[in-house]
Amino acid sequence: MAEDSNVYYTEGLPVPETPAPGDKPAFWKQTDVVGKRIPRVDAYERVSGTAVYPSDIKLPNMVYGAILRCPHPHAKVKKVDASRAKTMPGVRAVITGVSPKVKGLNWKYRNYTGPLFDSHCRFEGEVVAAVAADTRYQAWDAAHAIEVAYEVLPYVADYKEALSESAPKVHDGGNLAGMDEYERGDISRGFAEADAVLEETYETPCQIHTPMELHGCVANWDGDRLTIWESSQGVYAVQSNVAEVLGIPLSKVRVIGHYMGGGFGSKLKPGKYTVLASLLAKQAARPVKMILTREETYLCVGNRPANTMRLKAGVKSDGTLTAFEFECIGPSGAYPGGGTALVDWLVRDLYKCDNVRCRSKDVYINAGTARPFRAPGHPQGSWALEQMMDALAEKIGMNPVKLRLKNIPAISQGRSEPYTTTGLKACIERGAQQFGWKNALKRAKEQNQSASHIKRGVGMGACVWYVGGGGPPSTVIIKLFRDGSVNLNMGASDIGTGTKTVMALVTAEELGVKPEVIQIEHADTGTTQYATPSGGSKTVPTESPTVRNAAIDVKRQILEMAAEDLDVRTAELDYEGTEIVWRKDKSKRIRVTDVGRLKKRGVVVGVGYRGPNPRTKTVNPFGAQFCEVEVNTKTGEMRVLRFLGAHDSGRVLDRLTYDNQVFGGIVMGIGFGMTEFRQLDGKQTGKLCNRNWHDYKLPTALDVPVDMESLPIEIDDPEANNTGTKGLGEPVTIPTASAIANALYMATGIRFTNAPVSPMGMCRRLAARKEG
């Protein structure tokens, strides 16, 4: 059954097989505002500084929190003495693992549950104590005045050594966090049928989220009611977690998150700091603001895990892929975090191949726990697979674009289900055409045959994102007031991607009003409807159909009211923007604002729910990216000259925010492939070495190309949902690094299997080739 078989079903009950009259919305063909380049509805607030982020919140009598963290990668807390800290100027509250109201509180890492204050510290940055004081400086001074006796333990920092017998154990059960295996077909037969077989090992670095706005919150108690202003991707997730840890009803916890300055997955759930701020606020009887420092965020709020991947691939001389064998190892960190989650998905699903075997090992190390990071696992898998595809193409003498087009799957092989739509072929073909692939290839070859020390290369990479179709639950309420203005009420967070703008456009399109008359309430558990966190590219395909359903509910009620005024049947009326028109005689019409019952009632309230996704098909977005690079073979300097992203993410709802997502994803992918890595001192201390923006190199405006182009591949997908949308935020960063690596190979003839590729690394490889 299609996703919108019943707009008005009751959440949690079966969806009726027979839709109610007017229930099934027609798929949009022509739109008036949807798909246009519309500025953000909150653009002025954002650029003028009037938008209030959680880090901007100031309350009367507010004090500040600070956390004392374990300085060792592995240690046991033997004694904590906070007596001196409690007497210091401005100190209002101090909590440790032995504080009366803290004992017995637990914290969950996926399937692992441990104490909120764990005396066994398994990573540098684990919580030991927390302080609230009148100023930030007083709080930090008091935190550092707490005396702690540690038993320092041996550590393991290198995930590749974590499973050796001599490696220190992070947990009593050992360092193996989990394993995953997948197989289809016959691997041995697949390799036997191949005309060419290649095998290579690839490595990707640990990448840190490091969003612009720091992690943190403000917590305030009013009697037994707790209000939290959190920089979060999902206010209901924060509410649920905090209520569970503190053992209080959900109705007593209100979480507000109207603005946030980036998260990329690291703010899908709260951190211990949220609970600590709440406990300190209770003890101090004052609001507590606890915003982590930049250095803290490098330690304890997640990362994209490093991975080592071995990929063996077979191909026939005509380009038919015959076999993939993939092995991967990666670290969750100190607790379960998905160290190898989804790293193998592209190998399983992106290209048609009948014989595939994947094996992954997730291990524990003494470092901060991983969290989902924009397209978890996929950029790592792309780094291996897309370089292998180019290597196979070279081996059999085939253009890499042609090889990919030869192996387009008709169904999702990993799920054994057909796609609602698949735009992979169109992304590659139209992307290559728009990029000018053939001419760029020719120019690069001519440049590289010259005597110049400046070499050029072009490269590409393709992708599919594991999810991207969204899904229930979601509830939205829309109010149409008697003057024609509208209120849109939804629980979804706008994480900087323009969610509020997109949902306003959907509302405006369905109701025929201007976006300027729509007032939006969102991301507040006290006033807005339930929504799951904004992440995984699910927000648009989850919330936009729900918003449309709510608008349709408003229209249904208005049509019933207008039918009374016009003395005709409801089924004979059309809702045409600001007017209701009788289909049999279009001169018989009434303005929406003149509908009698609306004028009397003052408001009409529509409720929309998100129905299920198609039961027998899978909804996935696809993409292909193309780039051109330049390499100075004397200095090792690399420049990305231009990038094009061709993406099939269903219908474009706002072209402006769509393009911004594409460009932002490419920039993040450049960082993954060329500048970013977490450096642990694995030999002497086990500590993190680069925990700030000076030492951890994010790409700047000088590192990204001026020439970036977004090419939407819009394919009607009415089966996906009633707006025809699929996810975008994840796929736009998946193939970026691998496309760069393929371009660098063309420019230099060197295959860079270890990311990131730095100028120093380039110089070393060029020198080694010269000496060899």
Per-residue pLDDT of 257-300, as tens digits, reads 999 999 999 999 999 999 999 999 999 999 999 999 999 999 99
Q: What percent of the chain has pLDDT over 90?
A: 94
Q: Is 43 exposed, middle or buried (0-12, 13-18, 19+ CB in 10 A)?
A: middle
**Banded model confidence at residue 10, pLDDT cuts 50, 70, 90:** very low
How many C-alpha atoms does 52 have within 13 Å on its Cβ side? 8
Q: What is the CATH number of the domain that holds 707?
A: 3.30.365.10
pLDDT at 19: 34
492 and 582 both lie in a single domain? yes
Residue 198, in any domain of the structure: no
Length in residues, the chain: 772
Where do the DSSP E strands lie in 551-680?
573-576, 579-582, 589-591, 603-609, 622-632, 638-648
pLDDT at 171: 98
pLDDT at 592: 97
Q: Is the pLDDT of residue 18 over 70?
A: no
269 and 140 both lie in a single domain? yes
End-of-domain residue from the set 246, 277, 300: 300
CA distance 685 to 681: 6
pTM of the model as a whole: 0.95
Q: What is the pLDDT of residues 343-353, one digit of tens each?
A: 999 999 999 99
pLDDT at 104: 86
How does DSSP classify residue 754?
A: B
End-of-domain residue from the set 300, 316, 335: 300
pLDDT at 364: 98
pLDDT at 772: 72
602 and 542 both lie in a single domain? yes
**Mean pLDDT in residue range 330-345:** 97
End-of-domain residue from the set 609, 640, 671: 609
Q: Is the pLDDT of residue 254 over 90?
A: yes
Q: Is the pLDDT of residue 193 over 60?
A: yes
CA distance 763 to 772: 14
Indicate the helix (H) or strand (E) that contains 528: none
pLDDT at 535: 95
Q: Is the pLDDT of residue 9 over 80?
A: no
412 and 520 both lie in a single domain? no
Residues 6+ apart with CB under 8 A from 113: 106, 107
pLDDT at 8: 26
Q: Which residue did the predictor score with more confidence, 772 or 453?
A: 453
235 and 149 both lie in a single domain? yes
Q: Is the pLDDT of residue 13 over 90?
A: no
Cα angle 243, 247, 252; round to 5 = 50
Phi and psi torsions of 61, nearest 5°: 65, 20
Indicate the helix (H) or strand (E) that contains 20: none
How many C-alpha atoms does 621 have within 13 Å on its Cβ side? 34
Q: What is the pLDDT of residues 610-638, one digit of tens each?
A: 999 999 999 999 999 999 999 999 999 99
552 and 659 both lie in a single domain? no
**Banded model confidence at residue 23, pLDDT cuts 50, 70, 90:** low
**Mean pLDDT in residue range 465-471:** 91
Pick from 477, 539, 553, 551: nearest CA to 725: 539
Strand partners, 624: 462, 646
pLDDT at 543: 98
User: Which of 403-407, 573-577, 750-754 shows the lowest mean pLDDT across its residues?
Assistant: 573-577
Residue 89, in any domain of the structure: yes
Pairing status of strand 321-333 against strand 356-364 = parallel
407 and 328 both lie in a single domain? yes
Side chain identity at 230, as an amino acid letter? E
**Banded model confidence at residue 39, pLDDT cuts 50, 70, 90:** very high
222 and 321 both lie in a single domain? no
461 and 360 both lie in a single domain? yes
110 and 258 both lie in a single domain? yes
Q: Is the pLDDT of residue 756 over 60?
A: yes
Q: Are 405 and 763 in contact (CB under 8 A)?
A: no
Domain count, the chain: 3
Residue 42, in any domain of the structure: no
User: Which of 539-543, 607-611, 767-771 shows the lowest mean pLDDT across its residues?
Assistant: 767-771
Q: Is the pLDDT of residue 583 over 60?
A: yes
Pick from 506, 504, 463: nearest CA to 666: 463
Residue reference for tokens 């009415």: 718
pLDDT at 3: 32
Residue 437, in any domain of the structure: yes
pLDDT at 624: 98
Q: Provide long-range contacts, Cβ within 8 A and 24+ apart, for 14-20.
A: 15/611, 15/612
Q: What is the pLDDT of residues 657-707, one digit of tens each?
A: 999 999 999 999 999 999 999 999 999 999 999 999 999 999 999 999 999
Residue 28, in any domain of the structure: no
CB atoms within 10 A of CB 372: 25
Going across the sheet that includes 63-69, the strands are 91-96, 127-133, 63-69, 288-291, 216-222, 225-230, 253-256
Q: Are 74 and 155 in contact (CB under 8 A)?
A: yes
**Banded model confidence at residue 6, pLDDT cuts 50, 70, 90:** very low
How many C-alpha atoms does 10 have within 13 Å on its Cβ side? 1
Q: Are 610 and 545 in contact (CB under 8 A)?
A: yes
582 and 670 both lie in a single domain? no
Q: Is the pLDDT of residue 480 over 70?
A: yes
Angle between helices 235-246 and 272-284 (to 10 degrees): 60
Residue 177, in any domain of the structure: no
Residue 15, in any domain of the structure: no
pLDDT at 103: 85
685 and 763 both lie in a single domain? yes
Q: What is the pLDDT of residues 362-377, one digit of tens each?
A: 999 999 999 999 999 9
**Mean pLDDT in residue range 203-220:** 98
**Banded model confidence at residue 319, pLDDT cuts 50, 70, 90:** very high
3-state secondary structure of 385: helix
Average pLDDT of the chain is 95
Q: Is the pLDDT of residue 132 over 70?
A: yes
Q: Is the pLDDT of residue 15 over 80?
A: no
**Mean pLDDT in residue range 57-69:** 98
**Banded model confidence at residue 468, pLDDT cuts 50, 70, 90:** confident
Residues 6+ apart with CB under 8 A from 329: 159, 160, 163, 307, 308, 340, 360, 361, 362, 363
**Mean pLDDT in residue range 752-765:** 97
Residue 241, in any domain of the structure: yes
CA distances from 67 to 130, 274, 286, 427 (A): 4, 11, 17, 48
The residue segments making up the domain with residue 116 are 54-153+210-300
Q: Torsion angle, CA of 20/22/24/26, rounded to 10 degrees?
A: 170
Q: Is the pLDDT of residue 137 over 60?
A: yes
3-state secondary structure of 719: coil
